Amino acid sequence: MNETMTKAYGEIDKAKEELKRYQEMISNLEKEDLLNTREDYTIEYRGGELSINGKIQSKEITKKYKKYFRKETLTIKKQNGDINIDSD
């Protein structure tokens, strides 16, 4: 039981770190006027391309933000105040 709890706490810590990275990325995207967090938005990273609200970003922007994506496919979607993070 102790080993299971230790593993669970480790997974929680990983999830917290991942969320911190995404929050930092979203904040930086907003600072660069690439995203408005007061509105609904969709951020997608697929096949090495970054798309924000359906608009594929330049190679420079994608390269700058690639460090935030640890998975090949990720979608962060804010809709009606709810945020959903989906990775394959």
What are the residue ranges spanned by the domains of the chain? Answer: 2-87
How confident is the model at residue 19, as a pLDDT? 84
Chunked in runs of 10, what are the mean pLDDT values of the chain (88 residues)?
Answer: 78 83 94 96 95 97 92 92 86
Q: Taking the model in full, what pTM does it have? A: 0.82
The C-alpha atoms of residue 75 and residue 53 are separated, in whole angstroms, by: 11
For residue 78, give the nearest of 33, 31, 28, 22 by alpha carbon.
22
